[in-house]
Amino acid sequence: MTDSGDAPVTRVEFHRQHQADAVAEAERLLARRGELQGAWLHWVAGELYRLGPPPYASMVRRELQRLSQG
């Protein structure tokens, strides 16, 4: 992934650029837990699978874990 120039985006820059979106996506996924109940885990796994690029999906997964514990 690149920014507006040709220089590659560093991991830190990628994280900074996408952190708020990852938190919002994790919150959206968690909001469906009560509605989907037992089917939620399967559903959320499918949602995470569809996310991309993989580093972003990992960020969302980490935020899901953090929000679930807190």
Query: Would the pLDDT of 9 be above 90?
Result: no
| Burial degree of 61 (CB within 10 A; 0-12, 13-18, 19+) | middle
Domain spans of the chain, in order of start: 11-69
pLDDT for position 4: 52
Per cent of the chain over pLDDT 90 is 86
pLDDT for position 3: 47
14, 55 in Cβ contact below 8 A?
A: yes
pLDDT for position 1: 39
Mean pLDDT on 18-29: 98
